[in-house]
Amino acid sequence: HPLLGVGVGDYPKEYERVNAAHTPQWEPAWNPHNHYLFVLTAAGLPGGIALALVLAYPLRRRAPADGRERIRRAVPVLMITICLFESYLLRSNVSMMYMLFTAALWRDASGAGPAQAAGRPPPAADRVTQRGAREARRRGLVTRAAMSSSR
């Protein structure tokens, strides 16, 4: 279906049908080696729009001036380029690495996440760690210099 696609699981069957009709001399592939074509075929226009938003958002987001602006742009540009030639995001490990690198690069240079950059308190786990560090310093178990050198 042009608007909704054929479904991710039905792509190979549909490709085999189209391949047999138009290019029977070609051996069917399990993916089209173009992620945009795959998503549009499998998930239709809604899937294509969702993929475009996922890949474009890091490029459009305002970046803090912390020296990592170019690498923040390079990761999505690299993924956008790779997806022209391979159905790269079909593999869960690649998708997870893309999300991990994107999240790590957008983390504030001070180590604070988006919540702390917005002035909200750190998550409970961080507060517990901070409390434990203060307690260790108070008891003389560790110095502030030792704490900062271990980071």
Q: How many structural domains does the chain have?
A: 2
Indicate the SS3 state at residue 106: helix
Could you tell me which residues come within 8 angstroms of residue 58 by beta carbon, excluding any fewer than 6 positions away? 72, 73, 75, 76, 102, 106
Residues 101 and 146 in one domain: no
Residue 121 confidence (pLDDT): 61
What is the tens place of the pLDDT at every residue in 31-70? 788 999 999 999 999 999 999 998 898 888 777 777 778 8
Structure tokens at 127: 């507060």
Residue 70 confidence (pLDDT): 85
Q: Is residue 147 part of a domain?
A: yes
Q: Is residue 90 part of a domain?
A: yes
Burial class (CB in 10 A: 0-12, 13-18, 19+), 90: middle
Could you tell me which residues come within 8 angstroms of residue 36 by beta carbon, excluding any fewer than 6 positions away? 48, 51, 83, 84
Residues 143 and 94 in one domain: no
Q: Collect contacts of 96-99 with beta carbons under 8 A, ≥24 apart.
A: none
Q: Is residue 75 part of a domain?
A: yes
Residues 88 and 111 in one domain: yes
- How far is the CA of 85 from the CAs of 33, 74, 81, 91, in angstroms? 5, 17, 7, 14
Residue 107 confidence (pLDDT): 73
123 torsion bin: left (phi>0), alpha (psi -120 to 50), beta (else):
beta
**pTM exceeds 0.75:** no
For 139, the domain range is: 122-151
Residues 106 and 96 in one domain: yes
Q: Which residues of the chain have pLDDT under 50?
A: 128
Which helix or strand (DSSP H or E) is residue 90 part of? none
Structure tokens at 136: 């260790």
Residue 117 confidence (pLDDT): 58
Residue 43 confidence (pLDDT): 92
